[in-house]
Structure formats: structure tokens, C-alpha cells
């Protein structure tokens, strides 16, 4: 069935519950550390640049992280009328932070990741992602995001970005209705939250549908799921889900997005518009 | 590095030149035949339904073939003002044929695949794909597509769909400029051709760019590459490239597409519009 064994010389992530697996050919392991929260590895791959792995799950590669980072940042920021204060929960690799800071109107970004080892590894092995960390508008905290959100002032944030791992392990609490309610409380009127929401192919009828329902239950009036390609994640297809507090996240500042002079690799106003129109199979899964 | 070996119980396709691999868990092999042209296998997978493999390369799965088949058929048909006569070269699994026949204005579709074994396997193991084969507008021929195109009447076709395997092996001739010139000759004014054109991530600066250049060299005035997700193909991200003879394939019958009552899983007018706006990294790769 195979001409080549993947047992040596490859990093493989098996997606057990979905019967699929994705492998990258590796040159060497560059880093291996077990923090208080998780097992972090970095590999040098043959063709995807460096690869970060947390608890055996691929987090990002040099080659394709632009897709995820642009799509978790820009749709939410352009869905807000004038975002000034942004909070990122998770996102310790700082790729999302870099994208947020490309918006000149943003005045302050607080990033709260529970695990400083992720940021240390990013600084060392993914320096392009951390290149904006010295921006005076950026504030990095290494703390429990759930607790931070619990203690933050009401109506103090314009955009909340939940840039988490899968809804198991350290990030489990970030997918709970209680947490979504606290996010809602933190947002000002017109505020937008966005959360990574897994694979359209694998999770439209489960995790994504439940997250959308939980966001509405938490008080958000509008919800929008945007799919986008992501080769290193299960099924090669991923999504973010936006929720609006007194704002319709199905619309966005399309003219601003089109006129922007940010240097981007994937996001365009047209891609945003296209992603907002869900594939019919997803629409049907959400309505069931 | 791995907790589970993929050597047994999985079908794996290794994409050697791209240092990546994709695997699906299989229950059993259902079919194994070596035709005059290629080695054809069908597997029953755990989670993707049946899987067709040609010469070791994944062709399609029950679960995700809707993406490819909808995106190779509908953008080309909606880019044409009123397609009546359609030719499909390759496409022996008949999934593209089924999509084309959903267009009520289409009067005749000729499918020419070199290998009847593909259609026989589709009839047996992918019956949903061949459900429209008895449509009186459909004509199936098992013959050399290059030769057929060479002998067909000039200006006799509205839409040509090149639904081929990769540009190596039996399909190599379908990626040559001579073949594109013959396609151009066959098309009436206002005609559209479309060809599957590999991975945006892996091939934007090579196969796709060359195909676009070759299409223009063959006389087509307009060219458009549309990316879409495709989990079972290398990188999980794929593309089709359209070319127009006296028609701009960057526009399409958007109102017709939006008003259509076809039952589809992926294609929408908005997805078509979104795909036409290339990600900036692809635009840059094409301009180099």
C-alpha cells in the first residue's frame, strides 16, 4: 500500500477521530521542552520551514501560517467600525499580534498566553512572527486567559481574539459558554470577538455549530463563520467564527479593506466577502 | 515522533517533491485492476467513504469530491453566456459530467476518457457520481482525448473541461501548448476552457504560472485561476484555471448563479466571486 514508511524522517499528526493523517518530512528536531502546561517541539522540515508542535498537534509552519494569522485577525478588525483596543487570548507565537498591529488605528493590544515557552520558541525559531513585539502598542502577559478575562473591566475592549489550541487540554475553558459570556461583558458596544473554530469538513455539525449556538446564548446578536485553507491542520481546511455585540459581523468595512496598503499574502476584501457566504453544506449543517 | 505507524491499515500518498504526505485509514481494498493505461485501486476508508486511486495518486473520495467537481464545472459554465455544447476530456468518474448536466441550458455533453476502467469502477463504487450518465444529453466515449480534440470540428464547442490527472503519465499531453491551441480552435467565439491546475501553495510559481502563460500563447485573451479547498489532494488546497476565447473569464453570470436552484454543497455565486480575487501571494507568483 505504501512505497515509503513514514515511521522515520517524518513528523506525522494522526487525526484519530477523523481517520486521516498529515505528515511533513523533517530534517531535525530543533527544540523539545515540556513546560508547566504542555509539550512543545520545533522541527526543521524539508519544505515547510520550521514547524511548531504542541502536545503532538501541529500549531504552525513557516510556510503556511499566513493563512491562519491573517484570517483570525483581519476579518474581525474590519468587522469593527474603529477598533482601538484589542485583546488576544492565546496566540503566544505572536503571529496574530503582528497582523493586528498592521492596523494603524489600533492603539493597544494585550496578548495573554498561559505559556511563555511558546513565545520564547517563536522568538528563537519563528522570528518573523515576533518582529512586531517591540511595537509600543503591544503588551504581552503570560497568565491564565480565563482568569484575566474574568478580572478585566467591563466594556473595555473593541476586539477579542481567541487564538487557542483545540478545545481539549489547556484551551478547554475557552470554548465554554461561561467564558463567552465574560467576553461579551468585556466588549464595548459594537465589539467583535473571533475564535478559531476547527475544520469545516470535520466540525460543521459539531464544534462549529455548538460554538455558534453558545455565542448567541452568551448574548451576541450576530455570528459568522469564515472558512479558509490551512494545509497543516486536519483536513487542510479551517475556520474562524466571529460574533458581534450590537454589530453585524456579516458586514465589514469593505472599502477600508480594499483600500488598505497592508502587505498581506491571503486576505483581501473579496476573500472576506467570499468567506462570509458559507458553502451550502455548512449552512445546512448549522441549521440542523 | 509518532505514536502510531501508518504502514498498515492506512492508505498514504507521499508528495515527494513537496515533502508532505496525506493518509486515510482504510477498512479494505475493494478493487485492484491494471488497465492498459494505469493502475486503479478502490479502498473503503473509515471516514471518507470510498477512495479511488490511480497510479498511487488519490483521485477522489466520496466525502470531499463535491469540492473539485463543483469547482471545475460551475465557474466555467457560468463564465459562458449560454453554454449548449460541452466537452469533458478525462473525467471518467463522471462527477464533472453530473455537475454539467445540472445546467438546464446545456444541450449536449461529450465525455472522452481514455480509460473505460475508471468509469466502470465509478459505476460500481461511486454510484452517486454516475447517476446522470443515462441523461439523453450525455455521450460517453472511451478514446484518446488529444486525438479526439485534434479531429473535432472547429468552433463546435462552448465549454471545454480538461478534467485530467496530474501532468505526468497519461495526461501529460493535456498540459502542452499544442493541445491548448487545438482547444482554442474547437471553441466557438465566447467559448471557455477550464483545466485542473494543481495546488496554489505548491504550484503557483510553476505549473499554474506556466499553464496561464501557455493559455495566453494559445490565443486565449483572458485567464483566471480559482483556488478551492480539497482535503485529499496535496496541500489540501487546489485550483482550476479558466481561459476565455473572446470572453472575459474574470466575469460571470452572477445573477444566474445566485438565482440557480441547483442542489450544491460548495459552489455559490459569492464563492465564485471570492475565488476570482486571487490571494496576493498567488498574484505575485504569477507576475514574476
For residue B29, give the CATH number of its domain: 2.30.140.10
Q: Are A50 and A61 in contact (CB under 8 A)?
A: yes
Tell me the pLDDT tens digit for each residue of B161-181. 999 876 656 566 666 788 999
The CA distance from B1 to the nearest CA of chain A, in Å, is 6
Query: What Cα–Cα distance (Å) separates residue B27 from each residue in A16, B56, B114?
Result: 14, 17, 30
Sign of the torsion formed by the C-alpha atoms of A77, A81, A83 and A88: negative
Same domain, A189 and A49: no
**What's this model's pTM, rounded to 2 decimal places?**
0.95
Say yes or no for a CB contact (<8 Å) between A266 and B279.
Answer: yes
Please name the residue of chain B whose CA is at the shortest distance from the CA of residue A66. Answer: B281
Same domain, A190 and A276: yes
Count of Cβ atoms closer than 10 Å to residue A148 Cβ: 17
Same domain, B166 and B124: yes
- The domain that holds A197 is classified in CATH as 3.40.50.150
pLDDT of A1 strictly over 60: no
Q: Cβ of A23 under 8 Å from any chain B Cβ?
A: yes
Q: Are B83 and B107 in contact (CB under 8 A)?
A: no
Same domain, B36 and B70: no
Mean predicted lDDT score pLDDT of chain A: 94
When CB atoms are compared, the residue of B266, B267, B281 closest to A266 is: B281
Say yes or no for a CB contact (<8 Å) between A6 and B2.
Answer: yes
Same domain, A50 and A75: no
In degrees, rounded to 5, the angle at the alpha carbon of residue B63 between the alpha carbons of residues B98 and B119 is: 45
Amino acid A175: pLDDT: 62
Q: Cβ of B281 under 8 Å from any chain A Cβ?
A: yes
Distance between CA atoms of A155 and A274, rounded to whole angstroms? 31
Same domain, A28 and A138: no
Tell me the pLDDT tens digit for each residue of B109-140. 999 999 999 999 999 999 999 999 999 999 99
Global ipTM: 0.94
Mean predicted lDDT score pLDDT of chain B: 94
Q: Cβ of B266 under 8 Å from any chain A Cβ?
A: yes
Q: Cβ of B14 under 8 Å from any chain A Cβ?
A: yes
DSSP character string of A269-280? HHHHHHHHS--H
Same domain, B151 and B35: no
Q: How confident is the model at residue A174 (pLDDT cuts 50, 70, 90)?
A: low
When CB atoms are compared, the residue of B18, B63, B273 closest to A270 is: B273
pLDDT of A80 strictly over 90: yes
Same domain, B150 and B37: no
Amino acid B1: pLDDT: 46
Chain B residues 37-56 with CB within 8 Å of chain A: 45-48, 56
Say yes or no for a CB contact (<8 Å) between B2 and A5.
Answer: no
Please name the residue of chain A whose CA is at the shortest distance from the CA of residue B236. Answer: A236
Collect the ranges in chain B with pLDDT lower than 50.
Answer: 1
Distance between CA atoms of B45 and B65, rounded to whole angstroms? 14
Tell me the pLDDT tens digit for each residue of B252-279. 999 999 999 999 999 999 999 999 999 9
The CA distance from B114 to the nearest CA of chain A, in Å, is 25
Say yes or no for a CB contact (<8 Å) between A5 and B5.
Answer: yes
Q: Are A68 and A94 in contact (CB under 8 A)?
A: no
Where helices occur in chain B by DSSP H, the ranges are 65-79, 95-100, 116-125, 145-151, 177-186, 200-203, 209-217, 254-259, 269-276, 280-287
Among residues B64, B115, B158, B163, the one annotated as catalytic is B163
Same domain, B10 and B72: no
The CA distance from B21 to the nearest CA of chain A, in Å, is 5
Distance between CA atoms of B188 and A247, rounded to whole angstroms? 49
Distance between CA atoms of B9 and B220, rounded to whole angstroms? 47
Q: Are A31 and A25 in contact (CB under 8 A)?
A: no
Same domain, A209 and A264: yes
Same domain, B178 and B257: yes
- Using a CB-CB cut-off of 8 Å, the residues of chain B touching A1 are 8, 10-12, 26, 29
Q: Are A80 and A94 in contact (CB under 8 A)?
A: no
When CB atoms are compared, the residue of A230, A237, A279 closest to B265 is: A279
Same domain, A48 and A70: no
Say yes or no for a CB contact (<8 Å) between B25 and A23.
Answer: no
Name the nearest CA neighbour of B245 among B179, B153, B181, B173: B181
Distance between CA atoms of B68 and B161, rounded to whole angstroms? 12
Query: What is the domain count for chain A?
Result: 2
The CA distance from A99 to the nearest CA of chain B, in Å, is 15
Give the domain range for residue B27.
2-61
When CB atoms are compared, the residue of A45, A231, A275 closest to B201 is: A231
Amino acid at each position: 500500500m505504501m512505497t515509503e514508511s513514514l515511521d522515520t524522517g517524518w513528523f506525522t499528526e494522526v487525526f484519530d477521530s477523523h481517520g486521516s493523517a498529515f505528515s511533513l518530512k523533517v530534517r531535525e528536531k530543533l527544540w523539545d521542552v515540556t513546560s508547566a502546561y504542555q509539550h512543545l517541539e520545533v522541527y526543521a522540515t524539508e519544505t515547510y520551514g520550521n514547524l511548531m508542535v504542541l502536545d503532538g498537534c501541529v500549531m504552525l509552519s513557516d510556510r503556511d501560517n499566513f493563512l491562519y494569522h491573517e484570517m483570525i485577525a483581519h476579518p474581525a478588525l474590519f468587522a469593527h467600525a474603529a477598533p482601538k483596543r484589542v485583546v488576544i487570548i492565546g496566540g503566544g507565537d505572536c503571529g496574530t499580534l503582528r497582523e493586528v498591529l498592521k492596523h494603524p488605528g489600533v492603539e493597544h493590544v494585550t496578548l495573554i498566553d498561559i505559556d511563555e515557552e511558546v513565545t520564547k520558541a517563536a522568538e528563537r525559531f519563528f522570528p518573523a512572527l515576533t518582529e512586531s513585539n517591540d511595537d509600543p502598542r503591544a503588551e504581552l502577559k503570560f497568565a491564565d486567559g480565563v482568569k484575566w478575562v474574568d478580572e478585566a473591566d467591563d466594556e473595555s475592549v473593541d476586539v477579542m481574539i481567541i487564538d487557542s489550541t483545540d478545545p481539549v487540554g489547556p484551551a478547554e475553558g475557552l470554548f465554554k459558554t461561561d467564558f463567552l459570556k465574560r467576553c461579551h461583558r468585556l466588549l464595548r458596544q459594537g465589539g467583535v470577538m473571533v475564535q478559531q473554530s476547527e475544520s469545516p469538513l470535520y466540525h460543521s455539525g459539531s464544534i462549529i455549530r455548538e460554538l455558534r449556538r453558545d455565542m448567541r446564548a452568551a448574548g451576541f446578536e450576530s455570528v459568522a463563520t469564515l472558512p479558509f485553507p490551512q494545509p497543516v491542520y486536519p483536513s487542510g481546511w479551517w475556520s474562524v467564527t466571529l460574533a458581534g455585540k450590537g454589530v453585524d459581523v456579516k458586514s465589514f468595512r469593505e472599502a477600508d479593506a480594499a483600500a488598505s496598503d497592508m502587505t498581506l499574502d491571503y486576505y483581501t476584501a473579496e476573500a472576506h466577502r467570499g468567506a462570509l457566504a458559507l458553502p451550502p453544506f455548512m449552512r445546512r449543517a448549522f441549521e440542523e
